[in-house]
């Protein structure tokens, strides 16, 4: 398969950020790929191509931090989150959680690991089973893992609801009786039920009203402070990401193009894609806003089933040169803690 070539280009330690240390790596992702096969044929179908949703990711998540994952629709952000949680099984690569390799885990061992990692979903309407009461929804993780009896589970659910700012009195209600923000809190309560240390937030606020967004973000931050949680925060709202994240990774077409601490990334974006992305963020100061130079990218996102040769971004890059069409750039540390995958940045 063609993927073998890519693996050589991005050596597993390229983003071995742990050497900069002092920092405690909770989750290590190396060479992660998730390809969805495109099949054709009658009954005995064969794979004719693959959508390369995630195509070779290398990054670490430190304990207690919030790592933002941004990028436009269809660039593989959500797939990354789900592959880390083993909701999708990786096509290739490693996901190590506290030294435990997840991609090969199965059955009960994987189920045990799931207690550590949870997910909060984007759509608070689709993420709660409409046929279950809040009590049953929040208690389900406990039930699945056989924790406590029904009495203690009820107590635990009440605690959790209170923790996320809901009145436990409503535990016997069905999800449709709650508003979007309230439902999102129920989803958060469910994610917290097993006392995880790592939570993938898959665009947890994009489906909410702006006023509710702030509430939910504050809740997430509060919970992080209180419970020592680590977040992988997937979003496309760049200003929200700047607010909540310690570090930010920018994805384009299944690859990370830039990874840096939040302030560094927003003040000193090096990759042309990141620059274009950030130039689209409106500034709430009319004087600055007037002088804001927008970088408008030409064309559409190429199909992830057939990405361009060389640098993924070369079809739309304003500064692409010949080498960009031939060689795939590695993610390299240009500045301390600032990783960029671009031939033009040195």
Residues at the contact surface with other proteins, assessed by CB under 8 A: 42-45, 82, 85, 87, 110-111, 114-115, 117-119, 121-123, 126-133, 140-141, 144-145, 156, 159-160, 162-167, 169-170, 172-174, 176-179, 181-182, 185, 187, 190, 192-195, 215, 218-219, 222-223, 226-227
Closer to other proteins by CB, 82 or 271: give it: 82
Closer to other proteins by CB, 122 or 262: give it: 122
Q: What is the DSSP letter of 205?
A: T
Closer to other proteins by CB, 113 or 301: give it: 113
Minimum distance from residue 21 beta carbon to other proteins (Å): 28
Closer to other proteins by CB, 192 or 270: give it: 192
Minimum distance from residue 185 beta carbon to other proteins (Å): 7
Q: Tell me the sheet residues that pair with 117.
A: 198
Closer to other proteins by CB, 67 or 207: give it: 207
CB-based contacts of 214: which residues, under 8 Å, 6+ apart?
Answer: none
Nearest 5°: CA angle at 81, between 278 and 195?
A: 120
Minimum distance from residue 15 beta carbon to other proteins (Å): 26
CB-based contacts of 292: which residues, under 8 Å, 6+ apart?
Answer: 279, 282, 283
Closer to other proteins by CB, 85 or 248: give it: 85
Minimum distance from residue 247 beta carbon to other proteins (Å): 24
Question: CA of 57: how far to CAs of 74, 112, 190, 201, 216, in Å?
Answer: 16, 25, 29, 18, 29
With 0-12 CB in 10 A as exposed, 13-18 as middle and 19+ as buried, what is 293?
exposed
Distance between CA 317 and CA 239 in Å, rounded? 23
CB-based contacts of 181: which residues, under 8 Å, 6+ apart?
Answer: 124, 208, 209, 212, 215, 216
Q: Among 101, 136, 94, 142, which residue's Cα sits nearest to residue 118?
A: 142
Closer to other proteins by CB, 124 or 269: give it: 124
Minimum distance from residue 41 beta carbon to other proteins (Å): 9
Minimum distance from residue 45 beta carbon to other proteins (Å): 7
Distance between CA 38 and CA 45 in Å, rounded? 10
Closer to other proteins by CB, 152 or 268: give it: 152
Minimum distance from residue 150 beta carbon to other proteins (Å): 16
Minimum distance from residue 170 beta carbon to other proteins (Å): 6
Minimum distance from residue 28 beta carbon to other proteins (Å): 20
Question: CA of 324: how far to CAs of 12, 45, 108, 274, in Å?
Answer: 22, 36, 45, 17
Q: Among 295, 111, 312, 78, which residue's Cα sits nearest to residue 201?
A: 78
Distance between CA 263 and CA 280 in Å, rounded? 17
Three-state secondary structure call for residue 303: coil
Closer to other proteins by CB, 195 or 261: give it: 195
Radius of gyration of the chain (CA): 21
């Amino acid at each position: 398969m063609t993927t073998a070539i890519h693996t050589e280009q991005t050596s597993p330690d390229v983003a071995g950020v742990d050497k900069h240390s002092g920092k405690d790596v909770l989750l290590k992702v190396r060479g992660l790929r998730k390809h969805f096969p495109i099949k054709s044929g009658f009954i005995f179908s064969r794979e004719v191509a693959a959508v390369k949703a995630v195509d070779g990711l290398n990054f670490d998540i430190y304990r207690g931090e919030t790592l933002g994952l941004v990028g436009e629709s269809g660039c593989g952000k959500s797939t990354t989150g789900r592959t880390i949680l083993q909701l999708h099984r990786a096509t290739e690569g490693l996901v190590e959680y506290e030294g435990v390799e997840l991609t090969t885990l199965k059955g009960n061992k994987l189920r045990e690991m799931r207690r550590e990692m949870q997910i909060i979903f984007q759509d608070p309407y689709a993420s709660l089973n409409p046929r279950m009461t809040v009590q049953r929804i929040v208690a389900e993780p406990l039930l699945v893992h056989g924790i406590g009896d029904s009495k203690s589970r009820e107590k635990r659910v009440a605690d959790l609801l209170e923790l996320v700012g809901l009145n436990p009195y409503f535990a016997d209600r069905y999800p449709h009786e709650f508003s979007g923000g309230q439902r999102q809190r129920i989803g958060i309560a469910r994610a917290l039920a097993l006392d995880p240390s790592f939570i993938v937030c898959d665009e947890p606020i994009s489906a909410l009203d702006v006023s509710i967004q702030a509430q939910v973000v504050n809740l997430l931050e509060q919970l992080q402070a209180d419970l020592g949680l680590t977040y992988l925060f997937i979003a496309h709202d760049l200003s929200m990401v700047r607010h909540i994240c310690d570090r930010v990774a920018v994805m384009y077409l299944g690859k990370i193009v830039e990874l840096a601490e939040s302030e560094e990334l927003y003040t000193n974006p090096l990759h042309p894609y990141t620059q274009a992305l950030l130039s689209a963020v409106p500034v709430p100061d009319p004087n600055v806003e007037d002088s804001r130079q927008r970088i408008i990218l030409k064309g559409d996102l190429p199909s992830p089933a057939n990405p361009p040769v060389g640098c993924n971004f070369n079809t739309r890059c304003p500064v692409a040169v010949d080498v960009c069409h031939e060689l795939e750039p590695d993610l390299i540390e240009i500045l301390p803690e600032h990783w960029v995958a671009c031939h033009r940045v040195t």
